[in-house]
Amino acid sequence: MPDFTPTEMMTIAAARALSNEDVCFVGIGAPSAACNVARLTHAPDVTLIYESGTIGTAPDVLPLSIGDGELCETAVATVSVPEMFRYWLQGGRISIGFLGAAQLDRFGNINTTVIGDYNKPKVRLPGGGGAPEIATSCQEVYITMKQSTRGMVEKIDFFTSFGHGEGGNDRERLGITTKGPTLLITDLAVWKPDPVTKEFTVVSMHPGVTREQVQETCGWKVRFADNVEETPPPTELELKTLRDLQARTEKAHGGKKEA
């Protein structure tokens, strides 16, 4: 079995969730790494869209931001941001929104705005950007994040991106017709919402991970599926693809001098 880190397992497990048929709205950071690993391995025809208006982008290195020139240079087309959101996103043309989170609750609601009181926050976060619209307008949403009791909390400090609200049919009650969060991939496990309550439930744990570890790094009482599977470990191809991508990115953006 190849040696791999929890973060590598998370990224590769997230990449596996995408298919050639998907049109995916990509968040910067871990979602971007996962989506591009998918494109470079089992889903070469996946369509990656970034918030800046790039469609069908195929970056050789991971972008630092949505304004990274690499995205526009490798895209099939670039449209204006208003067109991206109104025609493509709100028009229902995007199948998957791939988001990260600073805080997340059991129903997939995301906070990327502030930690603490909004008017006197302990930490001011980058904000929502296009994530609130992605969370409501993409056909479904995948979330990826590392587990911690600071990140996975009983109650988020601010609703940036709406998941399943308080659970059940909250989205439908508010007139939101898309599925919302259907998958959560962390560095320890794969979670899916309960069909009725919409509470995230562990369906698969990564190799070597225990239920105790999952609970210790989560701020709510974890629910486990009746049959919890083990996530297949990364293949050599998946690991090499991810590591090569990260090495190219570090060389391009890391500022390291050649020996």
Please indicate, yes or no, if residue 258 is contained in any of the structural domains: no
Is the pTM of the predicted complex or chain greater than 0.85? Answer: yes
Q: Looking at the 3D structure of the chain, how many domains does it have? A: 1
Please indicate, yes or no, if residue 215 is contained in any of the structural domains: no
Residues of the chain with pLDDT > 90: what percent?
Answer: 88
Which residue of the set 8, 21, 51, 258 is catalytic?
Answer: 51
Burial class (CB in 10 A: 0-12, 13-18, 19+), 1: exposed
Pinpoint the alpha helices (H) of 53-162. 69-74, 81-83, 131-137
* pLDDT tens readout for residues 229-255: 999 999 999 999 999 999 999 998 875
Please indicate, yes or no, if residue 119 is contained in any of the structural domains: yes
With bands split at pLDDT 50, 70 and 90, how would you rate the model's confidence at 257?
very low
Please indicate, yes or no, if residue 173 is contained in any of the structural domains: yes
Please indicate, yes or no, if residue 120 is contained in any of the structural domains: yes
How many residues comprise the chain? 259
Residue 51 annotated as catalytic: yes
Please indicate, yes or no, if residue 207 is contained in any of the structural domains: no
* pLDDT tens readout for residues 190-214: 999 999 999 999 999 999 999 999 9
pLDDT surpassing 70 at residue 1: no
pLDDT surpassing 60 at residue 259: no
Q: What does the pLDDT average to over 121-145? A: 93
Q: What is the CATH number of the domain that holds 238?
A: 3.40.1080.10
Residue with tokens 């909250």: 170
Please indicate, yes or no, if residue 240 is contained in any of the structural domains: yes
Q: What does the pLDDT average to over 119-148? A: 94
Query: How high is the pLDDT of residue 132?
Result: 94
* pLDDT tens readout for residues 25-58: 998 888 899 999 999 999 999 999 998 999 999 9
Q: What range does the domain containing 152 cover?
A: 6-187+194-200+232-252
Please indicate, yes or no, if residue 82 is contained in any of the structural domains: yes
Burial class (CB in 10 A: 0-12, 13-18, 19+), 49: buried
Query: How high is the pLDDT of residue 2?
Result: 64
HSE at residue 55, side-chain half, CA atoms within 13 A, is 15
pLDDT surpassing 80 at residue 256: no
Nearest-Å Rg of the Cα atoms of the chain is 18
Q: Say if CB 37 and CB 238 are below 8 A apart.
A: yes
99 beta partners: 143
